[in-house]
Structure 1
Amino acid sequence: MNARVTGAVLLSTFFVAAVGSGSYAAGGNVAQGKVLYTNLCLRCHGVDGKGDAYMKFNPPVADLSAPAVQSKLDGALMKAIHDGRKDSAMGAWKFVLSDEEIRDVTTYVRVLGSHTNRKLP
């Protein structure tokens, strides 16, 4: 087998394994991400991540379940958590969260987008 075919087979196998195992983006821990989200993010982004929490900002906080957020690469989401967002209420969490914890939160954010009609874990 040539390298191109081997690479495609390995990538397909990895994808099937990840989807089949219930793994989510970034390889983080969903349960730990949910704990962190609940303690740190919920007051602004809301229970379902829709940005409808009791704290209001201008501009409004991101709807984390929306396709506009969910279509972003994991790295972009992790960077937004790490560095914050310019001209918004989203501050940098790099001083509070480790890289692993940021990965866990990102993993949980993917759950918010994938289970819009089902109860979250």
Structure 2
Amino acid sequence: MKVRAGAIAVLSGILFSAMVGGVCAGDGNTGNAGKGKTLYANLCIRCHGVEGKGNGVMTFTPPVADLTAPAAQSKLDATLLKTIHDGRKNTAMGAWKFVLTDEEIRDVTAYIRVLGTGANRTLP
């Protein structure tokens, strides 16, 4: 049963990737982390904090995701894209599909990957 649920989750992620611009592994359509950093600084930093640890000036229950944690960094890009695009039910994470283009969502996702490396301070 767990295998079936996992397979459904993977297939859903692949289908979502196709919907938001074809972001699939190996297609070369990855975001620009430099542009993503700017978007993050303007839109995400209030909740997720400067370093992405979920310690921004605004706090919520349930707590905001720590984007540097293995729980976030181990997610597929398609899952992160979907979360940014559609938001998360029963949390403060709203849908950004009304504010950001698909390309900008890919850029933010690319920057989230940089947060996981701790290299965000050296990014342009």
Could you say which TM-score interval applies, normalised by the shorter chain? 0.7 to 0.9
Match of 2:49 in 1: 46
Contact 1:37–1:105, Cα closer than 8 Å, also in 2: yes
- Give the residue type in structure 1 aligned to 2:121: K
Match of 2:35 in 1: 32
3-state SS, counterpart of residue 42 of structure 2: helix
Deviations 1:47-83 (A, max 9, x none): 0000001100000000000000000000000000000
Match of 2:77 in 1: 74
Structure 1 or 2, whichever has the larger Rg, is 1
TM-score (norm 1): 0.75
Deviations 1:73-118 (A, max 9, x none): 00000000000000000000000000000000000000000126x7
Deviations 1:9-49 (A, max 9, x none): xxxxxxxxxxxxxxxx9611111000000000000000000
Identity, in percent, stands at 66
3-state SS, counterpart of residue 37 of structure 1: helix
**Alpha-carbon distance between aligned partners in 1 of 2:122 and 2:69, rounded to the nearest angstrom:** 16
Deviation at 1:120, TM superposition (A): 4.0
Unaligned runs of 5+ in 2: 1-27
Unaligned runs of 5+ in 1: 1-24
Spell out structure 1 runs of 4+ moving beyond 4 A.
none
**Alpha-carbon distance between aligned partners in 2 of 1:108 and 1:69, rounded to the nearest angstrom:** 13
Match of 1:119 in 2: 121
